[in-house]
Structure 1
Amino acid sequence: MTSQARFRRNLATMTGSITGSLAGILAPRREIGARSQAFDLLFAGALTFFLGLIGFAQAGFGGILGLGMLAPLVWRRSRPEPVFFVVSAVAVLQWLAGVELQPGNVGLLVALYAISVYGEVRYSRIALGIGGLGVLMATSRYWSGSDWRQQITMMVALGALVFGVWATGERRRTRGLYVAQLEERAIQAERDRDRESKLAVSNERTRIAREIHDVVAHGLSIMIVQADGGLYAADASPEQAKKALATIGDTGRASLTEMRKMLGLLKQDAQQELDPDQPRPQPGISSLPELIDNVRDAGLTVDYEVTGTPRDLPALLGLTAYRIVQEGLTNTLKHAGPGARTCVHLDFGREMLTVMVNDDGRGAGVAPSSDPGHGLVGMRQRASISGGTVNAGPKAGGGYEVIAKLPYNLPNGGGIQ
């Protein structure tokens, strides 16, 4: 490559770089509304008209330079950087031409304020440096014949004026950024509230679905067992068939009542917020004997044992223990087979309640399903919410066992095993 070709390439690269930089500077920095544009036009027009007239009255050429420092202020907010550099260039031309200070020099301060408020931070710092250099240039030209004390006084006064204008603009910029940050935080907080509300609705739907599953599955299991038993005993023992039908009716009515109570929670949530002392109609430990009697009436042999010193439990913990026992008995009715014996054991320990539901049926021999169903998942979720754990699976000697450990006091986190 010849030296001329390299020169052309370097010149093209330099030109492209300069063009890109100028394009970045000249590009509009912010969008402003029609009202703001009208105000900027009126403001710059007023300064140009009145101060321009004064400048023309003092000196013709100086008046033209004054117009050059005032007219660009129309774009001081949309293009603060090029406006400041154009006004500064006109001021330097005024200094080189030896023209005295004009009223249009006010445009320098207005442009400096605009770039410190609306311009980029790096250009704002450059503008402050240019303003300081302008103070030195003005002092050396316009007060060169004065006493050194007067020169220092004017230098300090002009420097304080330039820095004060720049600092005021920086303060407004900082305040504007702070307000914008607060607005963004408010918008984000509103988004978070909407997201939390949607999550709360989803969790509530899941809770209701789990509750309905527990009630319907347990009630239907008992009703199916009683219906099969009543059909079998209809001819040989009409009394047993009548008893089975009565149990089916009682179980259906009880399940329907409980399901209505749970669905009624949707309407009671608002009233619960107004009256937090109103109790929720949910079963607990005290309802277990009635549940076990219903299962016994369905033909399942159930032993109920309580060890330790019983205590009053929180409503959530009592409901969790009740649902775990209910689901365990329901699974026994479904999978244990005829003649199975079930044991429900509550152990009130020092720090936690242990709930055990086990049977000696054939549940262990049933092939596991690829879908764990809602029952076991529901038990684990309930225990996790209460800070406890649930283990469920076949026993070594046959049968199936569910063991739940529920702490009385909710720790920092619960586990699911």
Structure 2
Amino acid sequence: MTGMLTARPVPARSRAFDLFLAGGLCVTFGFLSLAQAHLEGFLAFGMLAPLVWRRTHPELVFYGVCSVALLQWLAQVQLMPGNVGLLVGLYAITVYGDVQQSRIALGIGGLGVLMATSRYWSNSDWKQQITMMVALGALVFGVWALGERRRTRGLYVAQLEERAAQLERDRDRESKLAVSNERTRIAREIHDVVAHGLSIMIVQADGGLYAADQSPEAAKKALATIGDTGRASLTEMRKMLGLLKQDEQRDLDPNQPRPQPGVSSLPELIENVRAAGLTVAYEVTGRPRDLPALLGLTAYRIVQEGLTNTLKHAGPGARTSVTLDFGREMLTVVVTDDGRGAGVAPSSDPGHGLVGMRQRASVSGGTVSAGPKAGGGYEVIARLPYNLPNGG
């Protein structure tokens, strides 16, 4: 019961849509029912108005709508357009509610079919009763199945996003571990350099001390060796300490340049997407060449965004292909799928969706075109020139 009373977080856009949906249904079906009879109109509004909270409190909305429907059945009020609120409530509890509550809602829907058939078609022959029972049952089960599919798809996408976030965290952890190991290695090398240099200097100093009286030339040579060894050791130690200082600055300053993925990282990205269940074909045509870091990163991010949107929008069983064509003057990146073609929706967040792709491509002097294919599916084509504008 606590779960039913706890409001779920809902984006402002979704809340506005729910308000528009409930208001539209009230205006359309509520007043249509009110035109038939006052009681029918009040019952219709009772089943349609609560839909405003169908995302935040799906269980309470469904049971509230069912309670109004039960009053309708007890009052022997005929079925009316406002009864569509029952189907919307069933869909809402299936998509946004608890899984167990969704199963209970399906059972209540089946019971409602039996009650409606026994009340509203009691005077009909048995063939008509069975026909109406099957039709209403198919409608209820169809709405529930549609909601269940939507829930499953949402959970699948959420798992993929969580997995991607976990991979990012693992990569950062591994990077920090690699930095720590590198610092340990540099510290050992510093120790070796200093210990080796000091050992030579001690030996030369002892030899020069003994030769100072008998062979001044040998003593001078020993002192020269001590100086050369000390300077060389000091130079090596400064280089290694400089490496450590660069690592510290990179950790403290997030704006410091870090290694970024490029075209060479695409096979690993595609393998990760394949592991998530998407069929991906990867092809490279033309003569591969070394790309500038910015251009390689742009191509990588465009492919990554295209595959991510295929996972989200193309539907189950979709197949996609990634093609890199190294032309004479530009790199052409093509990401296509044979799914539903919902494609890439522009996002308000920079760096996401079609807007983000075009922004990245424009920085590299390129262009991005995207849209549904004639035979179905969606296609993203990015053309990225090798030479940046203005000689960049």
> Does the TM-score normalized on the shorter chain lie above 0.5?
yes
Within 5 Å, give how 1:273-352 maps onto structure 2: none
Residue identity opposite 1:183 in structure 2: E
Q: Distance in 1 between matches of 2:235 and 2:99?
A: 69
Write out per-residue CA displacement over residues 125-175 of structure 1, whole angstroms, 9 at most, x where no aligned residue. Answer: 110000000011111111122221221111111111101101111111111
For residues 264 and 96 of structure 1, the distance between their equivalents in structure 2, rounded to whole angstroms, comes to 84
Aligned partner of 1:61 among 21, 28, 39: 39
1:70–1:107 contact (8 Å) kept in structure 2: yes
CA 35–257 in structure 1, closer or farther in 2 if over 3 Å, else same: closer
Q: CA deviation at 1:87?
A: 0.6
Residue deviations 1:234-273 (CA, integer Å, cap 9, x gap): 1122233133224324534554565577679889xx99x9
> For 1:193 and 1:40, how far apart are their aligned partners in 2?
40
Q: SS state of the match for residue 234, structure 1? A: helix
**1:83-232 equivalent positions in 2, closer than 5 A:** 83-232=61-210
- Give the secondary-structure state (helix, strand or coil) at the position aligned to 1:31: coil
2:4 to 25, 28, 38: 25
Residues in 1 aligned to 2:196 and 2:56: alpha-carbon distance in whole angstroms = 71
SS state at 2:214 partner: coil
Alignment of 1:230-309 (within 5 A): 230-252=208-230, 254-255=232-233
Larger radius of gyration: 1
**1:63/1:102 contact within 8 Å kept:** no
Distance 1:261 1:78 in 2: 60
Change (3 A) 1:129 1:260: same
Give, in whole Å, the separation in 2 of the partners of 1:33 and 1:263.
50
Deviations 1:209-233 (A, max 9, x none): 1111101111111112211221232
Identity %: 78
Aligned partners of 1:79 and 1:258: how far apart in 2?
Answer: 67
TM-score (structure 1 length as normaliser):
0.56
Separation in 2 of the partners of 1:261 and 1:242? 29
What amino acid is the match of 1:224? I
Structure 1, unmatched stretches of 5+, are 1-20, 275-417
Deviation of residue 35 (structure 1)? 2.6
Equivalent position of 1:50 in the other structure: 28
Give 2:5's aligned amino acid.
L
Q: C-alpha separation between the residues in 2 aligned to 1:155 and 1:147? A: 12
Work out the CA distance in 1 between the residues paired with 2:229 and 2:4: 81
Distance 2:146 2:134 in 1: 18
TM-score by length of 2: 0.59
8 Å CA contact 1:80–1:111 kept in 2: the answer is yes
Determine if contact 1:48/1:71 at 8 Å carries over to the other structure.
yes
Task: Compute the displacement of 1:75 (Å).
Answer: 0.8
Runs of 4+ in 1 over 4 A off after TM superposition: 256-267
1:44-83 superposed Cα distances (whole Å, 9 cap, x missing partner): 0111122111111222211211111111111111110011
Give the whole-Å Cα distance in 1 for the aligned partners of 2:73 and 2:113: 11
Q: Which runs of 5+ in 2 are unaligned?
A: 247-257, 263-392
Q: What CA distance in whole angstroms lies between the structure 2 residues aligned with 1:24 and 1:253?
A: 72
* Secondary structure in structure 2 of the residue aligned to 1:78: coil
In the alignment, the residues of structure 2 paired with residue 170 and residue 133 of structure 1 have an alpha-carbon distance, to the nearest angstrom, of: 19
Deviations 1:79-125 (A, max 9, x none): 10011001101111111111100101000000000000001111111
Aligned length: 249
